[in-house]
């Protein structure tokens, strides 16, 4: 088992969905990802919080095995704040407010103890910061990065620099289309792979996710849920589950990557069942295993029977 | 092997996509479905065309094994005409013109020779017409129906009457949400199943399709294509492939249904690679088998390893 380096936002979120509304709850990409990853491997978190960030949230992360030596606390500053509202189908969201606060000047200096990290997840954050973190780890084995439309629009060069250095790029479908400047996802994947990453994962929300490698494609559906409450953090929980799984196995072969996506899908399904970390907090390994196995059953189909296969060949 | 009864539109379409534009080409749900189904089982087509419908299109269907005894030709009438334009990502389309023409008074009287049909696909058409066709077959084994937003809005009672009589309802995701009056697809599926069908297939376009049964869920991705040209007819080719497969196997067990969806997915992928029937026409059984097998590889992932499974159980 290896540790997982996770860098990203640690935030307070105000979120409104058709199923409820919460104010200034704990969120942020690094928080979701670390909570998810810690089910399998110890995270090393890199981030910054203000004096308003609840100590109990940090205590919770620590209690689940996260190393918080890389979390800076600016007592007289305010935490990154995001506020958004989701549409009735939870497929689209509108950002109402973003306050960078202490996150705006974030210039992470990794603790010496983090420098041997081999598994890294660079959550959505300015690409220059992602690059600065990569500069401080010398012996990486597998690096995943996320991004967002803002950096594609405003920091494309820096972003492409990061993409050339990571093993796996994680994008949602809209971001992939935007980055590759084509509506066709398969074509977009080919273009993004040409930017450098060995692997690409395209997140499709309720439609699942797709892994593209040089040789093949893997697709996994989302875990079907009749009671999605808040999609915030789903992608980061998915990513955290993936990198946690890979670090635990200490193996990034193709089949391990596929399994890591099933694991991430199972964990992400818990994240969306409640606001903030409430869904993840009550989700244990037996539930992960149950949903992992359910996903396997959900996609299985047999080979064509012998007679039909013969007809196909002889046509 | 059994025959497949297919009722639906036989049309002339004018279609514009970012990749080209065609005028008054052969289309219609029954035409696409019959072409797809005929790769596996002989279709019995029920429809109506005007004097402007190309004889060579009918000859083509017949040459592939379709029985056209149920196709009425109104020499002094005009064929159903649809015109539409797709957005740049091919995910949305706008109807520019619909002219029912001879389709407007369509009141199908099935040939005596069709009355023993056991596998039926009622393509998108007024639900009263779907019901009238069902009234004329007495010994059905498996009936699938499609529909559209127009009938959900204007003919809900008749539509629900049809849904209560079919084995499998086929809807796209927007139709499922509209019919069940909920944005959550899993919840929508539960509500639609309560209307009567034993199975529900939700089509998700480029994101694949999901089969819902009383006991489980099956999801299959779309076949990834870098060169989608025109999505018109994809859903009907998918449905035709499904019902053709089931009729050929003469078996509607759960695994056969899953396999039929993989078969339908493979065929639908050919339909969208060109306008009108051009993609399907050049697609043979060896290509079907190749894509079927590729889809199986695309979704496969292993069980958790033993040690991890044990950890899950003991947590």
**Chain B residue numbers touching A298 (CB-CB < 8 A):** 216-219
Q: Is the pLDDT of residue B214 over 80?
A: yes
Q: What does the pLDDT read at residue A257?
A: 97
Q: B29 in the Ramachandran plot: left (φ > 0), alpha (ψ -120 to 50) or beta?
A: alpha
**Which of B285, B300, B305 minimises the CB distance to A311?**
B285
The Cα–Cα gap between A203 and A269 comes to 13
Single pTM value for the model = 0.94
Each residue's pLDDT tens digit, B34-77:
999 999 999 999 999 999 999 999 999 999 999 999 999 999 99
Integer Cα distance of B311 and B315 in angstroms: 6
B200 vs A contacts (CB less than 8 Å): none
Contact A313 B289 (CB under 8 A): yes
Helix (H, G, I), strand (E, B) or coil at A70: strand
Confidence of residue A142 (pLDDT cuts 50, 70, 90): very high
Residues from chain B contacting residue A297 (CB–CB below 8 Å): 216
Chain-chain contact of A286 with B183 (C-beta, under 8 angstroms): no
Is residue B258 very low, low, confident or very high in pLDDT (cuts 50, 70, 90)? very high
| C-beta atoms of B312 and A286 within 8 A | yes
pLDDT category at B310 given cuts 50, 70, 90 is confident
Q: Scanning every residue of chain A, which has its alpha carbon at the shortest distance from the alpha carbon of B88?
A: A183
Helix residue ranges per DSSP H, B164-284 = 173-180, 185-193, 234-249, 254-271, 278-281
The answer to whether B196 and A197 have CB atoms below 8 angstroms apart is no
Chain B partners within 8 Å of A217 (Cβ): 224, 298
Convert the pLDDT of each residue in B105-153 to its tens digit. 899 999 999 999 999 999 999 999 999 999 999 899 999 999 999 999 9
Strand partners, B70: B46
Task: Quote the CA–CA distance of B130 and B226 in Å, as a whole number.
Answer: 36
Tell me the C-alpha distance between A295 and A302, whole Å. Answer: 16
Residue A268 above 70 pLDDT?
yes
Q: Which residue of B has its CA nearest to A189?
A: B226
Nearest CB to A89: which of B89, B183, B186? B183
DSSP tag of A302: P
Q: Is pLDDT of B315 > 70? A: no
A315 pLDDT more than 70:
no
Dig out the tokens for A150 from the structure: 């803002």
Name every chain B residue with its beta carbon within 8 A of the beta carbon of A302.
255, 258-259
In Å, how far is B70's CA from the nearest CA of chain A? 28
- Asked if A124 and A146 count as a contact pair (C-beta separation under 8 A), the reply is yes
Partner-chain residue, chosen from A207, A226, A296, that has the shortest CB–CB distance to B187: A226
Say what percent of chain A tops pLDDT 90: 91
Shortest Cα distance from B108 to chain A (angstroms)? Answer: 34
Q: Per-domain residue ranges for chain A?
A: 4-314
pLDDT at A306: 86
Dihedral angle computed from the Cα positions of residues B186, A94, A269 and A176, in that order, rounded to the nearest 10 degrees: 100
Name chain A contacts of B302, Cβ cutoff 8 Å.
255, 258-259
Nearest chain B CA: its distance from A90 CA (Å): 8
pLDDT at A204: 95
State how far residue B56 is from chain A, nearest Cα, in angstroms: 23
CA distance A135 to A41: 23
Residues 6+ apart with CB under 8 A from A245: A40, A41, A256, A259, A260, A263, A264
Interface with A, mutate which of B301, B308, B310 (most A CBs under 10 A): B301
Residue B189 has a pLDDT of 96
**Nearest chain B CA: its distance from A302 CA (Å):** 7
Model confidence at A305: pLDDT above 90:
no
User: The domain at A4-314 falls in which architecture?
Assistant: 3-Layer(aba) Sandwich (3.40)
Q: Across the interface, which of A204, A262, A309 has its CB nearest the CB of B301?
A: A262
Q: How confident is the model at residue A313 (pLDDT cuts 50, 70, 90)?
A: confident
Chain-chain contact of A208 with B210 (C-beta, under 8 angstroms): no
Say if residue A78 is exposed, middle or buried (CB neighbours under 10 Å; 0-12, 13-18, 19+): middle
Q: Which pLDDT band, with edges at 50, 70 and 90, does A229 fall under?
A: very high
Residue B83 has pLDDT above 70, yes or no: yes
Report CB contact under 8 Å: B90, A183.
yes
Identify the helix (H) or strand (E) that includes residue B80. strand B80-86
pLDDT tens track for A73-97:
999 999 999 999 999 888 889 999 9
* Mean pLDDT computed over A198-216: 96
Which pLDDT score is estimated for B89? 82
Q: Do B47 and B10 meet the contact criterion of CB atoms below 8 Å apart?
A: yes
Span B159-182, average pLDDT: 97
Which candidate in A299, A307, A311 is best for mutational testing of the B interface (most B CBs within 10 A)?
A299
Q: For the segment A28-75, what is each residue's pLDDT rounded down to a tens digit?
A: 999 999 999 999 999 999 999 999 999 999 999 999 999 999 999 999
What is the rounded distance in angstroms from the CA atom of residue B129 to the CA atom of residue B29? 14
Q: What integer best gives the mean pLDDT of chain B?
A: 95
Select the residue from B1, B177, B187, B299 to test the A interface by mutation, using most A Cβ atoms within 10 A: B299
Q: Is the ipTM of this complex over 0.90?
A: yes
**Whether the predicted pLDDT of B312 surpasses 90:** no
């Amino acid at each position: 088992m290896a540790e997982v380096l996770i860098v990203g936002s640690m935030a307070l979120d105000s979120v409104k969905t058709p199923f409820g509304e919460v104010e200034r709850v704990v969120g942020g990409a690094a928080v979701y990802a670390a909570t998810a990853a810690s089910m399998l491997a110890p995270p090393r978190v890199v981030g910054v919080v203000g004096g308003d960030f609840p100590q109990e949230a940090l205590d919770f992360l620590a209690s689940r095995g996260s190393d918080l030596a890389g979390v800076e606390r600016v007592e007289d500053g305010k935490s990154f704040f995001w506020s958004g509202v989701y549409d009735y189908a939870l497929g689209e969201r509108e950002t109402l407010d973003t306050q960078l606060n202490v996150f705006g000047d974030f210039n992470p200096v990794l603790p010496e103890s983090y420098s041997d990290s081999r598994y890294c997840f660079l959550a959505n954050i300015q690409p220059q910061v992602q690059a600065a973190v990569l500069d401080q780890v010398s012996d990486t084995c597998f690096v995943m990065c996320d991004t967002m439309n803002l950096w594609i629009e405003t920091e494309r060069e820096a972003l492409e620099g990061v993409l050339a250095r990571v093993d796996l790029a994680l994008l949602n479908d809209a971001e992939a289309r935007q980055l590759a400047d084509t509506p066709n996802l398969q074509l977009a994947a080919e273009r993004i792979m040409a930017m450098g990453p060995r692997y690409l994962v395209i997140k499709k929300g309720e439609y699942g996710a797709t892994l593209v490698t040089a040789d093949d494609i893997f697709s996994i559906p989302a875990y079907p849920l009749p009671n999605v409450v808040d999609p915030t953090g789903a992608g980061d929980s998915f990513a955290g589950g993936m990198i946690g799984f890979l670090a635990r196995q200490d193996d990034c072969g193709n089949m391990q990557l596929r399994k890591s996506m099933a694991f991430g899908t199972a964990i992400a399904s818990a994240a969306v069942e409640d606001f903030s970390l409430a869904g993840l907090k009550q989700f244990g390994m037996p539930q992960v295993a149950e949903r992992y196995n359910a996903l396997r059953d959900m996609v299985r189909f047999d080979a064509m029977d012998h007679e039909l296969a013969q007809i196909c060949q002889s046509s």
